[in-house]
Structure 1
Amino acid sequence: MEKPILLITGGGRGIGAATAKLAARQGYQIVLNYRQDEASAQKVAKEIHQLGGQAHCIQADVSDADQVSFMFEHILHTWEPIKALVNNAGVLETQTNFAKTDLSRWQRIFNTNVFGTFLCCQSAFKHMALSQGGKGGTIVNVSSIASVYGSPNEYVDYAASKGAVDSFSKGFALEVAGDGIRVNVVRPGLIYTDMHADGGEAGRVDRIAPNLPLQRGGKPEEVAEAILWLLSDKSSYSTGSFIDVGGGR
């Protein structure tokens, strides 16, 4: 019996990589999407193979509609329709306050974080929806606690992009519930990933973590556990739901 296919965008590092390895252990065939860092994606795929799992890598910029369409068509014709999707690809830029940002920065962030999620959900619908000849499926969109707290003086634009993901996910979940598709959201908080270095402060988690109720930063594997629960039949009565993995914040 073929293993169900799980596509993870931005699957080469951090939360995406941790989710891929946990999902492989739970019986999924993994497709790791990456935009530029092929080496990291291939490294994760190799680790999955060494564990006896199946993993494939595919390059696509999720902010590009043509590349997203090609990625999903390639998966369909090479293997079979996807059963699950984790929209994990996301970007942020150097910490600053809102007054110093410009439109081009907002566009870059929204192109990946928001429009990339939209595009992948649209393509996944064609694979999964009962009305399209599919067999149903599950989608988890990776948002952020920043969508609630706004990330002032650091990443207001990033926080706003994740707020858009939250609103979209709720509406999309209600639209497709009758088509056999469940859509849920995981909102990580301060997690030890390379993304903080992208924002200009590699040690950001250690600086802020003592102020959290749990007084520590989180691990990507802890977020992966929440994602896999939402992908599984154990959460079969959950759609349009949110799980915050933020240390009590």
Structure 2
Amino acid sequence: MTSGNAKIKRLWISPGRPSGWAERYLTERLVKAEGDVDALVALHAQDLDPSGASHLLIAEELESAGRGDEAFAWAERGLRDCAAETYIDGRLVDYVCVRYAKAGRAAEAVAVRRDRFRLERSLAAYRQLRSAARAADCWEVERAAALATLEEDARREHGGSVLIDALLDDGDLDAAWREASCRADDRQRERLADLSRETRPAEALGVYLRLVERSKEPTGDRAYEHLARLLLGARDCHRVLGTEEVFGVYLAGLRTELKRRRKLMSILDRHRL
């Protein structure tokens, strides 16, 4: 290393280092060029991001250098340091959980996913918890606790978006129908109807017909295609119920009502409606 480069490097690993991003970038480039992993770790460790992104960066550098145990220790430290944060870099969580799984520490991977789910309350976090818990053969217990958390959220917030999405994602249609009556939005109701045409045709039909009524006003190709999909769903329900003639009368009336919309008529024709 030249004396000039050494000076720049010392600036960053000393208490009085400069704070500009340009200086930091230059120092990082120099340290990487030299292959000085310890100096690179020290550089990143001086300015740890609260999301855990810096911990992950350090872990990746150490792992690339063949120092896997140290890398994993930094990643675990990142989870501890960021445990109270609402947002944590998902890549760090994935990094730790993948390595727990490879080490046969499935229960610890579940614990990490559970903690993140409690903070994030998202469908993605629920799916990740489910995957980890299934690998550890404890999904039944974890699912009950996770759904209880989402049910409490739904009662407190007078909503239930994530709860219903989770039930739909699990394929628990009976529970999803129970929750949908007072909490589902139109997107969720349509998804539920799509999944229930064969098993609950009358309930699914009711959803489709309500959504058709709400979809009469919007115009444009996208809106018309959506209306056609709703009508196809309604037709399927009538088929299962054995009431195709009723659907024929309904469709004829709808086409008469909206006959001035030529593009809609063309789209309905294309779908044989």
Structure 2 length-normalised TM: 0.24
Greater relative contact order (Cα 8 A, min sep 6): structure 1 or 2?
1
More strand by share: 1
Q: Rg: which structure is higher? A: 2
Structure 1 length-normalised TM: 0.26
More helix by share: 2
